[in-house]
Amino acid sequence: MRRSLVAGNWKMHGRLDANRSLIDALVAAPRPACEVAVCVPFPYLAQAQALLAGSAIALGAQDCSVHEQGAYTGEVAAGMLREFGCSHVIVGHSERRALHGETDATVAAKAERALASGLTPIVCVGETLEQREQGQTEAVIGMQLDAVLHLLGAQRSSRIVLAYEPVWAIGTGRSASAEQAQQVHAFLRARVRHHGADADALPMLYGGSVKPDNARELFAQPDIDGGLIGGASLKAADFLAIASAVPSP
Ligand code: PGA
């Protein structure tokens, strides 16, 4: 059976006071049926680690370097994230691909570095609106995924989490429909299987304008195992409502 996960992607949001209120509320709430993680900005890792101590909520970051260590000003190594209690790290978010020029090869290298440091990479793939309208969705996300599967090989690929995040749905309030998302998730799972990885065990998250009122329908789809939540992860009540929308096993 597959694990399900709801991960919050705080992006470049948060302040010490606000983080404390948010995490305190998450920790105090009843434990949902799925795994829950919060991916916080680097400077808040220590604070979040301390606030989450003893809770079932996992800690993650939003990026890591392809390098192990060295003269890479401004970069953060996956090994450093481990030292602050991270279990997860997002790699290949579309904002990093678009704004920081990350290529499919870079994203694959980051996933590899994360695994080597004992972290679970949450590998993001997704098409732009233009690509979808031109019928290129499967070609684009297939290429993004293949880069990772090729570099990692079947065995290590079985240890990642995949997140399908259509670029046109991120932060726009316009989520993919449950049918659209399921269709892409089924395609991704078939592709993972084709590469020989353990597709049935690999958690696949949907991300892009997930809210309390659309989460249940999305998470009810057979190939959607939870969500990567941006805006709604900054409000404890919304994030908790989304996490509790994951069906119990
Ligand atoms: P959103 O962001 O939920 O605000 O659309 C999702 C993401 O970018 O991971």
Q: Which residues line ligand 1 (CB under 6 A)?
A: 9, 165, 170-171, 207-210, 228-232
Q: What angle do CA 122, 115, 96 make, to 5 degrees?
A: 40
Domain 5-244 has CATH 3.20.20.70: yes
- Which residue, judged by its Cα, is nearest atom 1 of ligand 1? 230
The residue among 116, 71, 69 whose CA lies nearest residue 89 is 116
Mean pLDDT of the region 34-55: 98
Ligand 1 atom closest to the CA of 173, numbered from 1: 5
What would you measure as the largest C-alpha separation in the chain, in angstroms?
48
Position 249 scores a pLDDT of 79
Mutation pick for ligand 1 pocket among 6, 9, 128, 162 (CB with most ligand atoms within 8 Å): 9
User: Is the model's pLDDT at 248 over the cut of 90?
Assistant: no
Sequence spans of domains, the chain: 5-244
Contact 222, 179 (CB under 8 A): no
pLDDT digits (tens, 9 = 90+) for 83-104: 999 999 999 999 999 999 999 9
Residues whose CB falls within 8 Å of the CB of residue 192, separated by 6 or more in sequence, listed in order: 145, 149, 157, 162, 199, 202
The mean of the pLDDT values for the chain is 97
Known catalytic residues?
93, 165
Query: What's the half-sphere exposure (Cβ side, CA atoms, 13 Å) at 220?
Result: 8
Mutation pick for ligand 1 pocket among 63, 97, 167, 170 (CB with most ligand atoms within 8 Å): 170
What percentage of the chain exceeds 70 in pLDDT? 100
Contact 5, 230 (CB under 8 A): no
Position 14 scores a pLDDT of 98
Which parts of the chain are beta strand (E)? 5-9, 35-39, 58-61, 86-91, 120-125, 161-164, 204-207, 226-229
In 3-state terms the chain splits into helix, strand, coil percentages (rounded to 5) of 45, 15, 35
pTM over 0.75? The answer is yes
Position 73 scores a pLDDT of 98
pLDDT digits (tens, 9 = 90+) for 131-179: 999 999 999 999 999 999 999 999 999 999 999 999 999 999 999 999 9
Measure 71 CA to ligand 1 centroid, in angstroms.
32
User: Is the model's pLDDT at 208 over the cut of 80?
Assistant: yes
Contact 147, 106 (CB under 8 A): no
At 1, is the pLDDT very low, low, confident or very high (cuts 50, 70, 90)?
confident
